[in-house]
Amino acid sequence: MTKESHFSNQIRSNYAFMAKSVFDLHCLIQSQSEELYTEKEMGFPVFASSTLLFLSNVESASIMQISQGLNLSHQLASQRLKIMLKLKLVEGIKDDNDKRRTLYHLTPKGQEKSEILNLYYLDAEQAFKGLSDEIGVDIQSVLNSAITALQNKSFGQRFPEHLPSYKQRVALKKDEKA
């Protein structure tokens, strides 16, 4: 085993690097989903899926409504919409009540893709339930519980209190070695 792979294994088993593990899981799922989207000829990128589904459930929505509905930044919602506009999945029209605001809705092509996406999600749900069964943990429940717990009590609030600063602790370690 190389030093790099040994270090990588240490990180994977260290709670301090949980965010990295969650990110690695996200990247793995994203990558494998992109392969499936290509194989199944979905015709749009994985990251546009939630926006497509959101718009399939409303008549029309502004960028602000989409970002709030999906808990995304305004910038990220805007980036997704630009790609969806290029793919002709959505179109935007100026709001009659506020000309500064654009309302987006699915095109007929977007509506067709949302129907396909709904079928894909039934299969994806079964696949993730199977994965949960395989590893013996309800992954969705664990993730949702962790999110809720961190929303109720931040990561920083979970740190030990009344300890010397990191700088002081490093200095103490150096003194102990000397």
In the chain, the domains with their CATH numbers are 1-39 (no CATH), 48-177 (1.10.10.10)
Under 8 Å CB-to-CB from 111, ≥6 apart: which residues? 56
Task: Please count the other Cβ atoms lying within 10 Å of the Cβ belonging to residue 65.
Answer: 17
Band of pLDDT at residue 33, cut at 50, 70 and 90: very high
Helix axes 63-70, 49-56, angle to 10 degrees: 110
Under 8 Å CB-to-CB from 58, ≥6 apart: which residues? 65, 69
Rounded to two decimals, the pTM is 0.77
> What residues form DSSP beta bridges with 106?
90
pLDDT of the residue at 1: 64
Long-range contacts of 37-44 (CB under 8 A, 24+ apart): 40/120, 42/113, 42/116, 42/117, 42/120, 43/87, 43/113, 44/83, 44/84, 44/87, 44/89, 44/113
CA angle (151, 154, 155) in 5-degree steps: 125
pLDDT higher than threshold 90 for residue 65: yes
Higher pLDDT, 17 or 8: 17
- Mean pLDDT across 26-53: 94
pLDDT tens sequence across 110-156 = 999 999 999 999 999 999 999 999 999 999 999 999 999 999 999 99
Extract the tokens encoding 134: 């395989």
Higher pLDDT, 4 or 95: 95
In the chain the first and final C-alpha atoms are separated, in Å, by: 33
pLDDT tens sequence across 75-121 = 999 999 999 999 999 999 998 888 889 999 999 999 999 999 999 99
